[in-house]
């Protein structure tokens, strides 16, 4: 019975028959349920909407596990927030302004860092995207894009948010409840969503509403699970 | 000028074990500061090296603040070692740098001599063993900063308990006894106590050329490509040394400019420096040279970089890591240096959490490869600090904004921290004004009121606009700025 319970709590990993291992970088427990592989698949491209805590939090689990992370094109990356979410600043390298040569910079970084978080200064043309995707595959690193990337294997996005703690002239920001929706490229992929504390009162990222950390998108889930 | 080749195993300090006359110059001010900022210290120490070079072209830099030269040649020229030591001390102190000079047989004894007396001692030839004999065994600790040896501090605690208090008493033991009783460190200590080098030089240094070099055509005007090349050259050099089972005690870095000027420096290696660490020393050398005006526009860029391993010893199987480099994996370092070669040294930064009130103050960025120095301790309380959670977007320079009340007037804060009216509209980043749904503040902060140049009086606000975004805004000198965004 206990085994059954465990399985029902982590349906994502079992359904896709992919277990976190060599080819998958771990993510924070709160985010694992959103990703089909339970983590970031090495060699893949993952988008996280526009830059924000979600993109930093996606790298946090792997960083805490020993992975090196490079952030480029984001001069305003909040290192304190990243650290509070679990990202180890000792294994973080920032290239705030990669300039016009950003594609070469990203390609160099992919050959060295486990995760490269990129905010492209301009929408990259398809040919360039394919080149960088190939570089990520070759070096087995993860390209995490804060922005649009048509070829991405996995897309995450904050679709709703609500801050608590602040009133009209009193209080202070304490926590944000955010709905994060993940969708994949494959035909069998259906969007998954969940409510997260992004961040919680201490800056950490945890599951907010559903105990399992996973709920489908209402009606779609009802239909597909029949 | 410095034509000594590593491959023959000769060196600035001579080859004969035990009979080398060595002069050590210690600058105590540098040696205490070095722990904190090795890069800055190395660059600023360059002029002192220049002074020493006028006495002897081949200077071995053990670390910033500690150099050694072979004493025999210059002493002959300056009419005696005493005169040489006095002149050198005078020349260095003439630059405002306090120093101590010691001369003796061998590096260890010369360093101890520099530490002795009011300003160092000159131990006459042949009297080094007498000098060492009276030195307490605790002095063996000093060898750690000179050679690649370890385990000596434990030995200095053990020996007095066994009734051995002076180096002379230890040296009197048969070498085999010292080895069987105290192991490898005992043998090293015994050699040091007898005035010998800790490890014998490789007995028959091969007549191989293990040096590596790279020409630059067109000449390299910037340091970065040279430093980048130095990394791969050092990799090649290490591989060649390893293939022959050697490590080098020192590495000579020679840089030649298009107009023929050249700069050569000797760095302590001991088989411990990673390729990255060698590249780092090349950068220190170039920066120091440039700062000193040695390499200017007329020099026409760098045409040749040559790394020469010096004083070969049998490799003892050390890991190639030292001074924090162990933390950075080689693969990461290679990628970071490649990007630095493209964008410049400061373009790649490592963050360090630091203390401070504003979110931007709480992170210190240090160029990759430099040692980070926390200026403000993160663990201490900073009254007025914005409480957790921290914002995910922190603008390096706050963006101008406008915060207005429901009548369209700019919101202001009185000296008694009263807002003129509740904020109703926020326009950030030149975007359209958005309605403010929630807000709190002002949180007044007065920083560094004792320093007029850096004093700040600010009032912070947290605001949420109708699109759900949360902002950290600050009112300073009547102007509204957005410091950070919670997204």
Decide if B335 and A176 are in contact by the 8 Å CB cutoff.
no
Q: Which of B351, B387, B391 shows the shortest C-beta gap to A172? A: B387
Two structure tokens written together for B428 = 């950030």
**Residue B207, pLDDT above cutoff 80:** no
Between helices B223-243 and B275-291, what is the axis angle to 10°?
Answer: 140
Q: Least CA distance to A162: which residue of chain B?
A: B468
> So what's the pLDDT on residue A214?
40
A81 contacts on B by Cβ (under 8 Å)? 389-392, 394
What's the 3-state SS for B239-296? HHHHHCCEEEEEEEEEEEECCCCEEEEEEECCCCCCHHHHHHHHHHHHHHHHHCCCCC
pLDDT band at B271 (very low <50, low <70, confident <90, very high): low
pLDDT (mean) for A66-73: 94
Band (B291; pLDDT cuts 50, 70, 90): low
Q: Where are the domains of chain B?
A: 6-193, 212-340, 348-385, 387-486
Mean pLDDT of B119-128: 88
Q: What percent of chain A has pLDDT over 70?
A: 81
Q: What's the token pair of residue B157?
A: 């605690």
Q: Can you give the residue range of the structural domain that contains A219?
A: 2-224
Contact A84 B343 (CB under 8 A): no
What are the start-end ranges of the H helices in B405-458?
none
Asked if pLDDT for residue B418 goes beyond 50, the answer is yes
**Which residues, in sequence order, are bridge partners of residue A183?**
A155
ipTM of the complex: 0.83
Going by pLDDT thresholds of 50, 70 and 90, the confidence category of residue A216 is very low
Tell me the average pLDDT across B371-385: 66
- In CATH, the number for domain B212-340 is 3.30.1490.100
Domain B6-193: give its CATH code. Answer: 3.30.70.270
| Residue with the two structure tokens 């950490």 | A204
Residues B191-220: b if buried by 16+ CB within 10 A, e if exposed = bbbbbbbbbebbeebeeeebbbebebeebb
DSSP H helical ranges for B116-166: 128-133, 152-161
DSSP-derived letter for residue B122 is: B
Query: Is A121 an 8 Å CB contact of chain B?
Result: no
Is residue B325 classed as helix, strand or coil in its secondary structure?
Answer: coil
**Rounded to whole angstroms, how far apart are CA atoms B389 and B387?**
6
Between B54 and B39, where is the model more confident? B54
- Inform me whether the pLDDT recorded for B41 exceeds 80: no
Provide the shortest C-alpha distance from residue B445 to chain A (in Å): 16
On the question of pLDDT at B174 being above 90, the answer is no
Q: Span A117-123, mean pLDDT?
A: 94
Q: What is the overall mean pLDDT for chain A?
A: 83
CA-CA distances (angstroms) from residue B427 to A78, B63, B179? 22, 54, 77
Partner-chain residue, chosen from A51, A70, A166, that has the shortest CB–CB distance to B462: A166
Which of B352, B390, B392 should one mutate to test binding to chain A, selecting the residue with the greatest count of A CBs within 10 A?
Answer: B392
The single-letter DSSP state of residue B465 is: E
Highest mean pLDDT among A17-31, A154-168, B45-59, B419-433 belongs to: A154-168
Tally of structural domains, chain A: 1
**Is residue B51 a contact partner of residue B237, using CB atoms and an 8 Å limit?**
no
Q: Is A48 on the interface with B (CB under 8 A)?
A: no
Gap between the Cα atoms of B367 and A122, Å rounded: 26
Q: What is the mean pLDDT of residues B31-45?
A: 64
pLDDT band per the 50, 70, 90 thresholds, residue B262:
confident
Q: Provide the pLDDT for residue A29.
A: 93
Q: The pTM is what? A: 0.57
Least confident range from A129-143, A189-203, B159-173, B283-297: namely B283-297
A118 touches chain B (CB under 8 A): no
Greatest mean pLDDT range, B117-121, B182-186, B318-322, B369-373: B117-121
Number of CB atoms found within 10 A of residue B372's CB: 17
* A167: CATH: 3.40.50.300
pLDDT recorded at residue B177: 81
The residue-averaged pLDDT of B115-125 equals 88
Extract the tokens encoding A145. 């894009």
How high is the pLDDT of residue A213? 39
Mean pLDDT, to the nearest integer, of B366-394? 75
Q: Which residue, among B308, B228, B318, B312, has the nearest Cα to B275 in the 3D structure?
A: B228
């Amino acid at each position: 019975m206990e085994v059954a319970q465990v399985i029902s709590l982590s349906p994502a990993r079992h359904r896709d028959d992919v277990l976190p291992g060599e080819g998958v970088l771990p993510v924070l427990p709160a985010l694992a349920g959103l990703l089909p592989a339970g983590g970031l698949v090495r060699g893949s491209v993952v988008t996280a909407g526009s830059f924000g805590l979600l993109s930093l939090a996606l790298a946090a689990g792997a960083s805490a596990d020993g992975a090196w992370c490079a952030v480029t094109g984001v001069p305003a990356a909040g290192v304190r927030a990243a650290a509070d979410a679990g990202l180890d600043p000792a294994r973080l390298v920032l290239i705030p302004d990669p300039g016009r040569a950003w594609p070469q910079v990203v390609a160099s970084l992919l050959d060295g860092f486990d995760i490269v978080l990129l905010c492209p200064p301009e929408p990259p043309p398809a040919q360039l995207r394919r080149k960088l995707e190939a570089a990520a595959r070759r070096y087995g690193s993860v390209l995490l894009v804060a922005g649009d990337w048509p070829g991405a294997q996995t897309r995450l996005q904050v679709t709703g948010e609500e801050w608590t703690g602040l009133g009209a002239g009193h209080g202070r920001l304490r926590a944000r409840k955010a709905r994060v929706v993940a969708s994949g490229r494959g035909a069998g992929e259906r969007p998954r969503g969940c409510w997260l504390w992004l961040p919680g009162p201490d800056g950490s990222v945890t599951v907010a509403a559903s105990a399992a950390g996973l709920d489908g998108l209402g009606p779609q889930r009802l239909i597909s699970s029949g | 000028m410095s034509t000594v080749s590593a491959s023959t195993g000769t060196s600035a300090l001579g080859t004969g074990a035990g009979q080398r006359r060595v002069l050590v110059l210690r600058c105590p001010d540098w040696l205490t500061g070095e722990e904190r900022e090795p890069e800055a210290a190395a660059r600023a120490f360059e002029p002192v090296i220049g002074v020493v070079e006028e006495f002897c072209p081949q200077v071995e830099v053990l670390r910033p603040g500690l150099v050694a030269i072979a004493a025999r040649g210059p002493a002959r020229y300056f009419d005696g070692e005493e005169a040489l030591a006095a002149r050198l001390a005078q020349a260095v102190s003439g630059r405002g740098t306090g120093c101590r000079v010691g001369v003796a047989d061998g590096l260890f004894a010369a360093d101890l001599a520099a530490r002795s007396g009011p300003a160092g001692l000159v131990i006459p030839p042949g009297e080094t063993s007498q000098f060492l004999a009276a030195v307490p065994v605790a002095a063996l600790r000093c060898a750690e900063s000179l050679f690649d040896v370890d385990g000596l501090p434990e030995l200095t605690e053990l020996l007095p308990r066994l009734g051995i208090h002076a180096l002379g008493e230890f040296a009197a033991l048969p070498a085999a006894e010292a080895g069987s009783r105290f192991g490898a460190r005992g043998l090293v200590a015994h050699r040091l106590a007898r005035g010998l080098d800790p490890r014998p030089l490789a007995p028959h240094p091969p007549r191989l050329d293990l040096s590596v070099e790279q020409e630059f055509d067109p000449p390299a005007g910037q340091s970065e490509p040279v430093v980048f090349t130095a990394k791969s050259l050092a990799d090649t050099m290490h591989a060649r040394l390893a293939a022959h089972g050697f490590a080098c005690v020192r590495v000579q870095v020679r840089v030649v400019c298009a107009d023929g000027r050249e700069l050569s420096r000797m760095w302590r290696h001991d088989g411990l420096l990673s390729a990255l660490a060698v590249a780092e020393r090349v950068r220190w050398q170039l920066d120091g040279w440039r700062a000193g005006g040695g390499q200017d526009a007329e020099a026409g860029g760098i045409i040749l970089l040559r790394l020469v391993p010096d004083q070969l010893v049998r490799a003892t199987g050390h890991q190639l890591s030292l001074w924090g480099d162990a933390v950075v994996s080689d693969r990461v370092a290679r990628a970071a240096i490649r990007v630095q070669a493209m964008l410049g040294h400061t373009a790649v930064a490592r963050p360090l959490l630091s203390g401070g009130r504003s979110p931007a103050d709480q992170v210190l960025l240090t160029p990759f490869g430099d040692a980070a120095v926390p200026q403000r301790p993160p663990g201490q309380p900073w009254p007025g600090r914005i409480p957790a959670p921290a914002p995910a977007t922190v603008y390096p320079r706050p963006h101008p904004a406008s915060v207005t009340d429901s009548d369209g007037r700019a919101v202001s804060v009185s000296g008694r921290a009263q807002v003129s009216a509740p904020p109703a509209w926020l326009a950030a980043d030149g975007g359209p004004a958005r309605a403010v749904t929630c807000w709190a503040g002002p949180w007044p902060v007065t920083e560094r009121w004792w320093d007029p140049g850096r004093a700040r009086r600010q009032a912070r606000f947290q605001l949420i606009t109708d699109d759900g975004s949360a902002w950290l805004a600050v009112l300073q000198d009547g102007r509204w700025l957005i410091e950070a965004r919670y997204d």
